[in-house]
Chain A
Amino acid sequence: MTSHMKFPSPYELKAPKGAEGWEELYPYYLLFNDKIRAKEEGKFWFCDSQHWPSPFKPFDTITVEFAVKCLGQYNTRHYLIPPANGVDYRIHNGYCYMSPLAVAPENIAARVPQFMDRAGHYFQNWASLLDNWMVKVKANIADMEAIHFEPLPEVVPVEWVKEGVGLDNTYFMMESYDRAIQLLYKTWQYHFEFLNLGYAAYLDFFGFLKEQFPTIPDQAIAKMVQGVEVDLFRPDDELKKLSKLAVKLGVADALKIGTADEALARVATVAGGKEWLDAWKAAQDPWFNFTSGNGFYSTDKYWIEHLDIPLGYIRDYIAKLEKGETIDRPTEKIAAERDRITAEYAELLSDELRPVFEGKLGLARAVFPYVENHNFYIEHWSMSVFWRKMRELSAILHGQGFFENADDMFFLNRQEVRDALFDYGNAWAVGGEPIGPVYWPEVIAKRKSILATLATQPPQPALNNPPEVITEPFTIMLWGITSESIARWLDGGSDKSKLTGMAASPGIAEGRARVIRSADELDLIQEGEILVAPVTAPSWAPVFGKIRATVTDIGGMMSHAAIVCREYGLPAVTGTGNASSTIKNGQMLRVDGATGEVRIIG
């Protein structure tokens, strides 16, 4: 049966040599199980390298588990989306593969009244529910911030003894850990409270326009609903403000060289320096809870912990300002363009259809700010706090000799972390030695080697046989996967000098390719290059001032990369499938963001 598969079967797709035993890094329920091979091979799985482009460290699977589980619960159990349950997911060779679960046709009708009642309530009360969401999410973040981990003391505090608390420090340490995990679980439940419905309303508007104007560019529709003042762009806007302030106060030169610590110390000594440092401090909470990654990896670096990153961007902006260039986002132009596009399409519709257009546009515009903004509150701010707390904990275990490196805890899965904490507390309580320091370093070394090996083999775009037509709404909405993109994946390789993907942001650009596999490589990008990456994160925004165009392997019209490129007026082609492995650094590219074509021209 596998020989007839259009994409490989996971049961045939072996790990690269040297990565044997990778299965032990992940919980049993995330693996393709031999006992249900026929069932698993009967399903179509696509790789989600849009969100998870590199192999998971064991702890980091928490992001895919919580995110995709919570996505599912809203479809299946909260709103009863009539045709669609959640999305099943597995990890194979370190990468995650998704398979949406449809509702059996005979059960769809019965779900409709429940959907109308439940989802209808959200659409009718969107604004007030969303206000409440913001309160909940901020409270959740505050709860996470309140968690602190400290090494166990020599003895239980005497006050606890005298107050009759009757508990020790290990109890509170375990409780804090469990609480952090639970609060993250909450984060991801909240994440999907509005997202699925928001996308669905957007898709309704999108589908209506595609019916009226079959060849309307996707990006035209996106532009009609996109917001002008978007929280997701606030961090970058804050850097621009700080850059202008530095120039205005005459402290720009003091910022220009050295590490962030050195530059900030120097600024403190110059006139106007205090005012700038106050502004710099004020901007950090919350806007520096921002990562150049996508929030899904423990290795993602957040500005607030790596001040060199925002300072580097500020230096770039200062250089532009000193050359007399403008660095502001052209918000007025964006707003005017959005109004022009909307008016011109409305004009092309008949009098009967114009009210339909306006109605659907109204709903799409009402829901879209959530689609754009949630990213800051969840992936950036909430995840920033969560990862920071987990690093705090990892450093403590490292201090107790459990690990060789401060961040090694992430090579344990979250249940194993609990075991390690108990081991630590247990030894502390009995007055003996923990076993972890002699157990974990060896295990971690092996896991590191397995992960490094897994990373050498890029994921397959999909597994098994695709359905004839993709009709599953969430596959289309959230991942941008359509029958056409699958056809493209299968067709890859006929003409090596040409790649096609989604026309995500208009314009044509030529330039040298810079292939970037992780956020850490961002500083390699030179002025005028074309960024080629498996996937980009919106927080790469400041490098968008340097590049001419973006090409990604994965992502649809509404992918973060697409949104940010349209915002910055850069051509983008997303979802090419394999650009980052086909294109080599330094090759000359021609990117057409209106047709979705990328050519290697030299």
Chain B
Amino acid sequence: MTAANHNHYILAFDQASEADFPKMGGKCASLARMIAAGVAVPAGFAVLTDAYAEFLEISGLKSTLGAIIDRIEIGNVADEAMKAAAIREKICSTPLPSHIEAAIRSAYLEMSPSNDLPVAVRSSATAEDLPDASFAGQQDTYLWVTSADDVVKQVRACWASLFNARAISYRAKNNLGQLEVLMSVAVQKMVNAKAAGVAMTLDPINGDRTKIVIDSAFGLGEPVVSGEITPDNFVVEKVMMQVTKRRIAEKDHELVADRALRRTVDRVIEPERRTLPSLSDGEVIEVAKLAKSLERKMGCPQDVEWAIDADLPDGANLVALQSRPETVWSQKKAQAPAKTYAMGIEGVLGTLMSPLSAKN
């Protein structure tokens, strides 16, 4: 998309450069990085952290919320939850400063002059996606948002999601300022996914970097990401790009776009389709190639959300939704080699004395 740089509140993904990343939050920055790397992602823009910061300042929320925050009894779960709800309610009910709201509206209307393009509105926090701080709780995603009014509303809802009880408690325990943590929001064209899921460029079970492991289901990927359904599972050998394992799950529900209702609906899958693979082998390989190229470009193992868009033609219908560094195995120190290897004829001798199958 070619959205202009409206102001310092809005930045289209394809206009962003490295210097903009801190204000875009992890998710938006990762999308911008993917575009720069030549990966197809759905079009969209970031509502930058400045929009949130100014919203707090100008609306007076900063002091209102500050007062509530000061009274939270940290450690008292019930109190944390109650106050958190109150904070979120305040954020959601406070109007945006008009110039900020106008900026968001015009960015959306530029994508959708007829004011009806379905978009996803997602939080893009500034801390959550750092490789060494994988704490969740700020992953609010609103799908199938189809008007400028609703976009504005859900942007505010994303900001409010900074204040769930777990996040508040985490920040308190780590001496992070509650109101200093900023948030950006991603507004992105919705994918009409016929299949979607997650691809990891290593085997999450054992860290094996020769594998790409793909979870996939029919419809949109959210139920796969959140673990609400058991997805199909594919393992691809990364160098040879061969599907080495397929476990096809019985999938009884799918989250799909309902154009008429303008929302996503959780639909029961007809019995004859439940045990069909959600991806053909060819598509599995395409997803694996996408993940592999992202790993190569980002320089470390990646965790990629992807979708196959039913509206796009075959061969150009695979899009990446987000890619972030894998955090579990990447943290582990490489183990020193357990043994030393003989070379040349000594090596050959060792192999003759103890061939492979004897070691298995």
Contacts and interface: CB of A to CB of B under 8 A. Distances in A.
Contacts of A360: 341, 343, 347
Interface in B199-247: 208-211, 237-240, 242-244
B358 interface: yes
B344 A363 contact: yes
Contacts of B350: 204
Interface stretch (A10-18, A345-353, A438-446): A345-353
B356 interface: yes
Interface string A481-511: 0111000000000000000000000101000
A223 to B, nearest CB: 8
B357 A200 contact: no
Nearest to B355: A473
A204 B348 contact: yes
A363 B239 CA distance: 22
B336 interface: yes
A483 B209 CA distance: 27
B352 A200 contact: yes
Contact of B352 (A82, A344, A348, A353): A82
A116 B349 contact: yes
Interface stretch (A208-216, A234-242, A458-466, A523-531): A208-216
A594 B244 contact: yes
B51 to A, nearest CB: 42
A476 B357 contact: yes
Contacts of B211: 215
B58 interface: no
Which of B238, B242, B350 is most buried by chain A, counting CB atoms within 10 A of its CB? B242
B187 to A, nearest CB: 37
Given A112-B349, A341-B239, A352-B336, A215 B355 contact: no
Contact of A82 (B242, B281, B349): B349
Contacts of A96: none
B244 A215 contact: yes
A200 B239 contact: no
B315 interface: no
Contacts of B243: 594-595
A216 B210 contact: yes
A217 B240 CA distance: 8
A81 interface: yes
Nearest to A120: B345
Contact of A108 (B208, B238, B353): B353
Contacts of B136: none
Interface in B327-360: 334, 336-337, 341, 343-345, 347-360
A38 B281 CA distance: 52
A200 B271 CA distance: 54
A471 B80 CA distance: 64
B210 A213 contact: yes
Chain B binding site: helix, strand, loop or mixed by DSSP? mixed
B246 to A, nearest CB: 9
B209 to A, nearest CB: 5
A408 B343 CA distance: 53
Interface in A369-386: none
Contacts of B344: 123, 359, 363
Given A204-B351, A217-B237, A356 B281 contact: no
Interface string B154-183: 000000000000000000000000000000
A353 B341 CA distance: 9
A471 B240 contact: no
B110 to A, nearest CB: 42
Contacts of A84: 352
Nearest to A116: B345
Contacts of A211: 359
Contacts of A213: 208, 210
Given A204-B348, A352-B336, A595-B244, A471 B355 contact: yes
Interface string A315-356: 000000000000000000000000001001100101011001
Contacts of B345: 116, 119-120, 123
A119 B346 CA distance: 11
Nearest to A482: B357
Given A356-B341, A360-B343, A471-B358, A119 B348 contact: yes
A220 interface: yes
A203 B351 contact: yes
A359 B346 CA distance: 12
A360 B355 CA distance: 15
Interface string A100-120: 000000001000100110011
Contacts of A208: 341, 347
B355 A82 contact: no
Nearest to B237: A217
A488 B351 CA distance: 25
A473 B209 CA distance: 29
A470 interface: yes
Interface in A178-213: 197, 200-201, 203-204, 206-208, 210-211, 213
Nearest to B281: A508
B242 A81 contact: no
A181 to B, nearest CB: 32
Contact of B357 (A83, A219, A471, A508): A471
Contacts of A595: 243-244
Nearest to B340: A356
A471 B210 CA distance: 27
A205 B229 CA distance: 43
Contacts of A119: 345, 348
A155 interface: no
Which of B238, B239, B352, B357 is most buried by chain A, counting CB atoms within 10 A of its CB? B352
A248 B210 CA distance: 47
A469 B351 contact: no
Contacts of B349: 82, 112, 115-116
A219 B345 CA distance: 24
Nearest to A351: B334
Nearest to A359: B343
Contacts of B357: 469-471, 476, 482-484
Nearest to A84: B352
Contacts of B351: 200, 203-204, 207, 473
Nearest to B245: A595
A220 B239 contact: yes
B347 A204 contact: yes
Interface in B64-113: none
B352 A217 contact: no
B286 to A, nearest CB: 15
B86 to A, nearest CB: 51
A120 B343 CA distance: 12
A348 B337 contact: no
Contacts of B347: 204, 208, 359-360, 363
Nearest to B339: A211
Contact of A201 (B244, B336, B348, B355): B348
A197 to B, nearest CB: 8
Contacts of A216: 210, 237, 239
A81 B352 contact: yes
A350 B337 contact: yes
A590 B334 CA distance: 41
A207 B337 contact: no
B208 A203 contact: no
Nearest to A595: B244
Nearest to A75: B352
18 contacts: A108-B353, A120-B345, A200-B352, A203-B355, A204-B348, A207-B351, A208-B347, A213-B210, A341-B240, A356-B341, A356-B343, A469-B358, A471-B357, A476-B355, A506-B240, A506-B242, A594-B240, A594-B242
Given A82-B352, A594-B244, A595-B244, 13 more contacts: A115-B349, A116-B345, A207-B356, A211-B359, A217-B240, A220-B237, A360-B341, A363-B347, A482-B357, A483-B360, A484-B357, A594-B243, A595-B243
Interface of B: 208-211, 237-240, 242-244, 281, 334, 336-337, 341, 343-345, 347-360
What 7 A-B pairs come out closest when comparing CB atoms?
A: A594-B242, A204-B351, A471-B358, A473-B355, A207-B356, A344-B239, A356-B341
